[in-house]
Amino acid sequence: MRCFFVSDLHGHQHRYNVLFDRIAAEVPDAVFLGGDLLPAHARSAGKRFPPVRDFIGEYLSVRLQELHDALRDRYPRVFLILGNDDPRMHEERLRDARHAMLWTYLHEISVEWKGMTVFGYAYVPPTPFRLKDWERYDISRFVDPGCIAPEDGKHTVPVDLHTLCYGSMQEDLEMLTAGRSLERAIMLFHSPPYQTALDRAALDGQSVDHVPLDVHVGSVAIRRLIDRKQPCITLHGHIHESASITGAWKQQLGRTWAFSAAHNGSELALVRFDTDRPEDAERELI
């Protein structure tokens, strides 16, 4: 199956418009949106487009409905998750059954699709940012220097304090994949796996309180899951500058092919891949 993957569009309408044009022209079987989808601070990104107060209702669902009406039975399956820059208060709207024909909201669930199992998981390890809706401890309660613990930041929805303080990405992923073979799995993450070409941040030479910062900021839990269970394809975003620093947006980890669609330029980074030939995946900056 031919698939598109994008991430970290941050509500930039020109990127979305390019994506929608490519969907209409190429008609992939599926489209994966890997988080950080909404405009920051409830504002439309980019001065070339009018402000959108309700990005999901006034723009995203409208444009996808137009595609659905135009393509009819050729409309691709759209899978999406949110990211750490997206307020979780919008999650219920993405789960709304009225949008079921337009997209599948995938966080912490799995669905069967054309012989593949598709998983979604939006959490990232603790960051220096205040919004903590989509942050979890990784494999322990360790927090990198300069980062803020999940319980010490801002949340837009109520959160159980025990889960906030003691839950971990590792426990979540063990529950999500328990007893499941991942040989024919596509896993849609926001965070990249730790210590890869996909999680390299521009932190060279920086320190906090004389402690050098780790330039690899991905998830150890995700890396361990990939190394142990070897899903077919994993999709990642979050670290915009990683490909610019390492020169790589894809990496093979054992049998797993891991792709990042994060990008630190103004273009849309569109990853095209075929589920039967992931090694031939390509990325285009448009």
Question: For 138-168, how does the pLDDT look when each residue is reduced to its tens digit (9 = 90+)?
Answer: 999 999 999 999 999 999 999 999 999 999 9
Q: What is the pLDDT of residues 56-91, one digit of tens each?
A: 999 999 999 999 999 999 999 999 999 999 999 999
Give the domain extent around 206.
2-285
Global confidence as pTM:
0.96
Number of other residues whose CB lies within 10 A of the CB of residue 243: 23
Q: What is residue 199's predicted lDDT score, i.e. its pLDDT?
A: 98
What token pair was written down for 230? 């070897």
- Over pLDDT 70: what percentage of the chain? 97
Q: What is residue 52's predicted lDDT score, i.e. its pLDDT?
A: 81
What token pair was written down for 183? 């040989």
On the question of pLDDT at 41 being above 80, the answer is no
What's the mean pLDDT when you consider all of the chain? 96
Q: What is residue 53's predicted lDDT score, i.e. its pLDDT?
A: 85
pLDDT band at 44 (very low <50, low <70, confident <90, very high): very low
pLDDT band at 49 (very low <50, low <70, confident <90, very high): low
H/E stretch holding 226 = helix 220-229
Find out whether 122 and 101 touch, Cβ atoms under 8 Å: no
Q: What is the pLDDT of residues 226-279, one digit of tens each?
A: 999 999 999 999 999 999 999 999 999 999 999 999 999 999 999 999 999 999
Q: What is residue 23's predicted lDDT score, i.e. its pLDDT?
A: 98
Find out whether 263 and 243 touch, Cβ atoms under 8 Å: yes
Radius of gyration of the chain (CA): 18
| Domains of the chain: total | 1
Q: What is the pLDDT of residues 192-212, one digit of tens each?
A: 999 999 999 999 999 999 999
Q: What is the DSSP string of 235-286?
A: EE-S-TTHHHHHS-SEEEETTEEEEE---SSSS-EEEEEETT-GGG-EEEE-
Distances in Å between the Cα of 75 and the Cα atoms of 119, 120, 194 are 21, 21, 35
State how far the Cα of 284 lies from the Cα of 286, in Å rounded to an integer. Answer: 6
Q: What is residue 246's predicted lDDT score, i.e. its pLDDT?
A: 98
- Indicate which CATH number applies to the domain containing 184: 3.60.21.10
